[in-house]
Amino acid sequence: MSRKHLFANEESALHEGNDASLQAASVQAATLSAQGFELPTVFHRPAVRRFNNRRQTKLICLVSAAILVAIALIGVLLMPVAMESDLSQARQAPSFEHPFGTDNLGHDMLIRTVAGLSTSIGIGLFAALVSSIIALILGTVAALGGKKADACITWLTDLMLGIPHIVFLLLISYALGKGFWGVALGVAFTHWPSLCRVIRAEVLQVKQSSYVAVARSLGRSPLYIALHHVLPAVLPQYLVGLILMFPHAILHEAAITFLGFGLPPEQPAIGIILSESMSYLSVGMWWLAVFPGLALLLVVLLFDRAGQGLRRLLDPARAQE
Amino acid sequence: MDLSRRNFIKLGGAGAATVAFGGLLSSILSGCSTDSAPAEGASVTGNSNEVVISMPTTSEPASGFDPFFTWGCGEHVHEPLIQSTLITTDTDLNFVNDLATSYECSPDGLTWTFTLRNDAYFTDGEQLSASDVAFTLNGINNSPSAQADLSMVDEAVALDETTVEIRLNKPFNALLYTLAVVGIVPEHAYDSATYGAQPIGSGRYVLEQWDQGQQVIFKANPDYYGQAPTMERVIVVFMEEDASLAAANSQEVDVAYTAATFASSVPEHYELFVCDSVDSRGISFPCVPAGGTKADGENEYPLGNNVTSDLTLRRAMNYAVDRETMINNVLSGYGSPAYSVSDGTPWASEDMIVQTDAEYARGLLEQGGWIAGEDGVLVKDGTRAQFDLYYSSNDSVRQALATEFSNQMAQLGIEVTIHGGGWDDLYPREFADPLLWGWGSNSPTEMYNLIYSAGVGNYSTYENATVDSHIDAALAMTHVEDSYDQWKRAQWDGTEGVAPQGGASWVWLVNVDHLYFKRSGLSIAEQKPHPHGHGWSLVNNVDAWSW
């Protein structure tokens, strides 16, 4: 990671400085080959001119975010259409009219996939927000609230991490009567422990730092220190954790729905689409699984890209690790 | 062209991945066909007196082959194979004697006397006598987990070795249809803890082996009193739908159950075998306004629905539903229109049949005061023609039927919102919301359950004294053949009934054909209409199949 970065930076620095000489060299090479000289294959060559890394990362973040927001919004708009079915159009292979094909009930799979992704993003957003707030509160309390609070919260975190995640999700979802809220709350209440640990460690670190000690000596109130010194230091970790929680939440939503403990089958959701596709794979309806599966993968990767990018931008010190 | 090392490696990697993936795909696709085909005119096992059949995993009897639980006479009725029955039904649903040599009913319809044959022996060597019959019937009645309904039987008494008297608490001649699926167990060797796994009967087959979760093997009973089975061994394997198709593709089974979705992909050396059924799918409409509760066994569930309690609406839906389109769209044509729970039986009424006529339905609604609102949905006195329809979410056919019904009703201005759920979610709604059901058996008891006021399946809570009186009259006939007419009159007697022009308490949609892939060369004996439950009915007469 870090090596690559350094190289990339050097390369771009090279670009800025030696553009003119490089051009001259290539012109010379072209003339040589025109004169009949054989040129050896060049294995080392600076990559094509590109943005510097920071700008590139920003761009990736923005584009990912834009795509995800677009999917979410379009999906919400398409939701009523995605519920519509035309059984006379059932079980059609991908075509110009239905790029992702149609399922057993004649749903257009492109529309249904986008609507399903939108449901997933919605549940992911809700779950990630709730989970990250829980993590922020518990992590801060653990770090600042004294030994007993720390012991309690650390124990609870370890306990939550010790229970097999998917089983715990199933239990919560089933106990809440399945459906949208069963899934959303189930996913929301089970994703906080790892972020909680990170935040606790961060806050502890900030607490030990000299500038906090100085602030304390200067007579700043604990609240002032928390708001002006601790929060800004933890915020990047929090935001990155929030975004990186999305892929987990989305995949877990899809997983419990796939297992039949989540949303009812008439709802468009990726988990349902994939679990339904299972029964039709043996008759060769591959498009029911392939496109929605790839779309899910794409969304998860986009979130991951956006989260990693944001981490680099917000936390430059660690980006070079 | 210049090629940097980085790009060179990238390209190489991508190429290798493509080759590997392609190889994987082609090996998966080609893996489906095997080269060594079993001999023609014999089972996949190689023997011409054996047959291998796949059935859904749900067909495996959880509590074994015990009529005191579900075997033969439970929710899904079929001949019990291992045990004999007093009587049985032929392909036209007429009664044929099995253990009984004769039987008659007292004039008041309350006492049935059966005379038994004296040459039937259990496979442990003991003779089957009238006391075994009495033991079985009384035992089922006293067993809380028995699914067979013998509640009309007060007691069964063995008068002598070969005569048994069944005393009823009310006239109920349809009992005969139940007796046709109740296997007689040995009084001397019955233990409810072990009988299910080690059944002793006097029927055509004995249980050779049962590997729970996998397969059941039956072999012919050498001491059977009737004609010896031509199929000496019957192997039933339990598998999921797609596994069943795969088993046929690799020629591991002789008969593979399948569904309409798969019907077009008939494996090589196999042909599609279509069985007509009375496996009816229909929707119950609560006929009373919301309010109060109704008991189902020990549970109290909410009762009534303010929308479907409107008679005009129910009638209009019965006329508007296009069953043929439904069959083509949902079942790929493998089904027949359903107009009642017992289409095609001797007690089915012609008056239940309706021709699809959306215009007529619209007229009915208009006369009934239903006027289209702003969003196109009909409204009457402030009530929108909108209701929730529930279906079992793990059944793709029911989901499709519910969806298609909802689409068709939308054109009429009735908004049907569909909800899938598990049966735990569905049963509590059975009296308050329309529900998509699967019903149907080779017995008028099915109709009794659904339309008699006190019937256990009267989900629509349609209670009509005239209908009840026709059913009571039918059940009191001392000859079952004479009761058909009264059953028909219970459905429509010219002025009243549950028919679409009457109470329209249900809308029946389709009878689902039971589909099988059968290896060419296997001759399957003529089938009775298959009741609800895609499983054991097929092998009712497996003893008469041949290669």
- Sketch the domain layout of chain B as residue ranges: 1-60+212-277+513-547, 68-196, 280-512
How confident is the model over A261-306, as pLDDT tens digits? 878 888 888 888 888 888 788 778 889 999 999 999 999 899 888 8
Buried b (16+ CB within 10 A) or exposed e, A28-61: eeeeeeeeeeeeeeeeeeeeeeeeebeeebeebb
To the nearest whole Å, the CA of B266 is away from the closest chain A CA by: 10
CATH of domain B280-512: 3.10.105.10
Please list the ranges in chain A whose pLDDT falls under 50: 1-22
Residues from chain A contacting residue B329 (CB–CB below 8 Å): 87-88, 90, 106
Q: What is the pLDDT of residue A312?
A: 82
Of residues B67, B92, B58, B502, the one with CA closest to residue B312: B502
- Decide if B333 contacts B510 (C-beta within 8 A): no
Q: Residue B402 — φ and ψ, nearest 5°?
A: -60, -40
Contacts of B455 (CB under 8 A, 6+ apart): B448, B449
Of 3.20.20.140, 3.10.129.10, 3.40.190.10, 1.20.1740.10, the CATH number of B1-60+212-277+513-547 is 3.40.190.10
Domains B1-60+212-277+513-547 and B68-196 share a fold: yes
Task: Say yes or no for a CB contact (<8 Å) between A104 and B400.
Answer: yes
Task: Say yes or no for a CB contact (<8 Å) between B2 and A283.
Answer: no
Cα separation, A238 vs A194, in Å, equals: 11
Q: Within an 8 Å CB–CB cutoff, is residue A93 touching chain B?
A: no
How confident is the model over B404-443, as pLDDT tens digits? 999 999 999 999 999 988 888 899 999 999 999 999 888 8
Q: What percent of chain B has pLDDT over 70?
A: 93
Cα separation, B140 vs B438, in Å, equals: 25
Residues, chain B, total?
547
Question: Which CATH architecture describes the domain A53-318?
Answer: Orthogonal Bundle (1.10)
Cα separation, B217 vs B233, in Å, equals: 7
Cα separation, B73 vs A256, in Å, equals: 37
Q: What is the pLDDT of residue A153?
A: 93
- Tell me the pairing of strands B270-275 and B153-160: unpaired
The amino acid at residue B401 is L
Facing residue for B242 by CB, picked from A260, A264, A282: A282
Residues from chain A contacting residue B393 (CB–CB below 8 Å): 260, 264-265
How confident is the model over B475-497, as pLDDT tens digits? 988 888 888 989 999 899 888 88
Q: What is the pLDDT of residue B319?
A: 93
Cα separation, B355 vs B350, in Å, equals: 12
Contacts of A293 (CB under 8 A, 6+ apart): A274
To the nearest whole Å, the CA of A310 is away from the closest chain B CA by: 27
Residues from chain A contacting residue B330 (CB–CB below 8 Å): 87
Task: Say yes or no for a CB contact (<8 Å) between B399 and A279.
Answer: no
Q: What would you report as the CA-atom Rg of chain A, rounded to the nearest whole angstrom?
A: 26
Strand, helix or coil at B39? coil
Facing residue for B241 by CB, picked from A41, A260, A279: A279
Strand, helix or coil at B372? strand
Contacts of A5 (CB under 8 A, 6+ apart): A53, A319, A320
How confident is the model over B411-422, as pLDDT tens digits? 999 999 999 888
Ranges of beta strands (E only) in B345-457 are 371-372, 378-380, 383-384, 386-392, 415-421, 435-439
Residues from chain A contacting residue B394 (CB–CB below 8 Å): 260
- Decide if B117 contacts B240 (C-beta within 8 A): no
Contacts of A282 (CB under 8 A, 6+ apart): B242, B245, B246, B262
Alpha carbon of residue B453 to chain centroid: 23
The two tokens of residue B147 are 């699914």
Average pLDDT, chain B: 87
Integer CA distances (angstroms), B137 to A76, A225, B129, in order: 59, 83, 13
The amino acid at residue B115 is T
Q: Within an 8 Å CB–CB cutoff, is residue A236 touching chain B?
A: no
Cα separation, B290 vs B294, in Å, equals: 11
- Give the residue extent of every domain in chain A: 1-50, 53-318
Q: Within an 8 Å CB–CB cutoff, is residue A10 touching chain B?
A: no
Topology annotation, domain B68-196: D-Maltodextrin-Binding Protein; domain 2 (3.40.190)
B38 pLDDT band (50/70/90 cuts)?
A: low
Cα separation, B365 vs B368, in Å, equals: 5
The two tokens of residue A225 are 């220190």
Cα dihedral sign for A306, A308, A309, A310?
positive
- Decide if B320 contacts B424 (C-beta within 8 A): no
Facing residue for B399 by CB, picked from A43, A86, A265: A265
Of residues B75, B80, B79, the one with CA closest to residue B58: B75
Size of interface A-B (CB pairs under 8 A): 68
Cα separation, B290 vs B285, in Å, equals: 12
Q: Which residue of B has its CA nearest to A281?
A: B242
Task: Say yes or no for a CB contact (<8 Å) between B242 and A278.
Answer: yes
- Distance spanning both ends of chain A, measured CA to CA: 7
Integer CA distances (angstroms), A114 to A84, A94, A246, B86, in order: 14, 16, 17, 60
Q: Within an 8 Å CB–CB cutoff, is residue A175 touching chain B?
A: no
Q: Within an 8 Å CB–CB cutoff, is residue A297 touching chain B?
A: no
Residues from chain A contacting residue B241 (CB–CB below 8 Å): 279
How confident is the model over A249-259, as pLDDT tens digits? 888 988 888 88
**Residue among A282, A285, A290, A294 with most chain B CBs within 10 A, to mutate:** A282
The two tokens of residue A57 are 């990362």
- Decide if A109 contacts A100 (C-beta within 8 A): yes
Q: Within an 8 Å CB–CB cutoff, is residue A266 touching chain B?
A: yes
Cα separation, A4 vs A7, in Å, equals: 5
Element (H, E) at A218: none
Cα separation, A247 vs A298, in Å, equals: 10
- Decide if B462 contacts B503 (C-beta within 8 A): yes
Strand, helix or coil at A190? coil
Q: Is B399 exposed, middle or buried (0-12, 13-18, 19+ CB in 10 A)?
A: buried
- Tell me the pairing of strands B270-275 and B415-421: unpaired
Cα separation, B73 vs B141, in Å, equals: 13
The two tokens of residue A108 are 């257009």
Q: Within an 8 Å CB–CB cutoff, is residue A179 touching chain B?
A: no
Cα separation, B188 vs B200, in Å, equals: 10
How many other CB atoms are found less than 10 A from the CB of residue B37? 11
Of residues B341, B332, B337, the one with CA closest to residue B354: B337
Q: Which residue of B has its CA nearest to A279?
A: B242
Cα separation, A176 vs A183, in Å, equals: 8
Cα separation, A4 vs A56, in Å, equals: 15
For chain B, which residues lie within 8 Å of any Cβ of chain A, measuring from their own Cβ? 2-6, 8, 241-242, 245-246, 261-262, 264-265, 325, 328-330, 393-394, 396, 399-400, 403-404, 407, 418-421
Residues from chain B contacting residue A42 (CB–CB below 8 Å): 2, 4
